[in-house]
Amino acid sequence: MGELRCNESMSRHTSWRVGGTAKRFFKPDTVEELATFLAQLPPEEPIVWVGLGSNLLVRDGGIDGAVICTSGVLGKLALLESDLIRAEAGVPCAKLARFSVRFGLAGGEFLIGIPGTVGGALAMNAGAFGGETWPIVEMVETIDRQGRRYLRTPEEYQIGYRTVTGPEDEWFLAAHFRLRIAREDGLARTRALLEKRNETQPTGQASCGSVFRNPEGDHAGRLIEACGLKGYSMGGAVVSEKHANFIINSGTATAADIEGLIQLVMRRVEEEQGVKLVPEVHIVGDAAPIGEK
């Protein structure tokens, strides 16, 4: 039944390559196996969902609960109608973007710039290049702690900038994306967006993507750079020289280094720029005991 590991190091499953161990780590082979696993968990046990591990910081003390990994398992993509795509939660956003372009559809090209999976994009209304996830969502498929499945519409959620609130203790299994028939060359557009991303962001390095939400009418990267924090480091964590809204693991960082640098950046920006930055990254787990790393 799927793959269940105990005391699994989360540094293997996060794009920052840091994090303590998870009490249970489960990769289901099927939705039915996932439903059975969820139903058997103690009702009080915390659950953390992981796709590609971007936008996630797992503290060094690890997760005293269950981690469910969708990457590589909930990966089905299908064209349901001429302009409607169904994508499961484990599908990388970039793969969905390429799939839509291949079928002559427009409106999903921005997904090429999101370094996570469909499940994560749904959970936080991820966006890039001026586009956001939920405006193209027609329906979502979810599952609860008892393994029951639901079909829900966007009207059942409160959706904002990088925030999504919906039924408690339900998680996304898949989404149906309504796009439009393209009049332009979508392949050329996705290539141009990828080139722009590679020029402006530290791709190929261990980061989580953007660390902070952009304040209304401004950019977090600009505010951080204005404080002179590009290149600033704490332990093995470094504010990227290429884009100040990225924190890089230079190779020796702990989760505590990264979280400490996040807090320092927030303090400095508030003190010097008068803006309170809000982290976009999801921080989970327990801090390591004092004296341990």
211, containing H or E segment: none
Give 49-62 as a DSSP string: EESS-TTEEE-TT-
User: Does 210 qualify as catalytic in the annotation?
Assistant: yes
Q: The sheet that has 247-249: what strands, in order across it?
A: 233-234, 237-239, 247-249
Q: Answer yes or no: are the C-beta atoms of 139 and 153 closer than 8 Å.
A: yes
What one-character DSSP code corresponds to residue 78? E
CA atoms within 13 A on the CB side of 147: 14
Give bridge partners of residue 212 from the DSSP assignment: 279
Q: Active site residue: 71, 207, 210, 240, which one?
A: 210
Q: Active site residue: 59, 162, 189, 268, which one?
A: 162
Rounded-to-integer distance, Cα 5 and Cα 197, Å: 35
Rounded-to-integer distance, Cα 245 and Cα 226, Å: 12
User: Does 9 qualify as catalytic in the annotation?
Assistant: no
Paired tokens of 157: 């959620």
Beta-sheet pairing, 105-106 with 137-144:
unpaired
Q: Active site residue: 8, 132, 259, 280, which one?
A: 280
Phi, psi of 233 (to 5 degrees): -130, 155
| Contacts of residue 242, Cβ cutoff 8 Å, sequence gap at least 6 | 200, 201, 202
User: Does 109 qualify as catalytic in the annotation?
Assistant: no
Active site residues: 162, 210, 280
